[in-house]
Amino acid sequence: MTTPDQRRFPRVEFFLVPDANEQLPVWVIKPESETVGRAGVVVNLSGGGLQIAVSAQEPLQAHHYELRLLLGEDEGVPLFCADVRRVWSRPLNCSAQLGGFEFESNSSDAEQFLLVQTAHVAARRWVHCVLVERMTALA
């Protein structure tokens, strides 16, 4: 039997994300370097925070994560990151849960990228991401 660290192909996660009055299927392909993180989709962005949909298989329990944006499979594509804090989470449907997060520092590379992306995209395009649980010192 193959363990997750010895997969021959990248792990693909699937869930349904609400859009207007329907639920759209979303597949997130996690690169081999991101096997420990939770695949997700940035659903929306607000001042200082964002909502991320992740699989409903495991509840979001940690409070601190590193958000890593997945911008393509090419190794040359920059991977923008930001430290985020989970404020709330709730079930979204049978396949997904939604989490509300705050950026822990102002103007991270990830936040700046998402602000530009949101401002210039007319059609609905989600940004795929990975949430990696962070250990806090003496938590």
pLDDT in tens, 35-60: 788 889 898 888 889 999 998 888 99
Question: What mean pLDDT is predicted for residues 55-73?
Answer: 88
Sign of the alpha-carbon torsion through 64, 129, 3, 76: negative
pLDDT at position 36: 81
Amino acid at site 89: S
C-alpha distances out from residue 41 to 1, 2, 17, 18, Å: 30, 27, 8, 11
- In this structure, of 21-35, 37-51, 61-75, 84-98, the range with the lowest mean pLDDT score is 21-35
Residue that wins the pLDDT comparison between 95 and 110: 110
CATH class label, 12-133:
mainly beta
pLDDT at position 139: 44
Mean pLDDT of the chain: 78
**What confidence tens digit (pLDDT) does each residue in 4-19 have?**
445 444 455 666 666 6
What global pTM score does this model have?
0.78
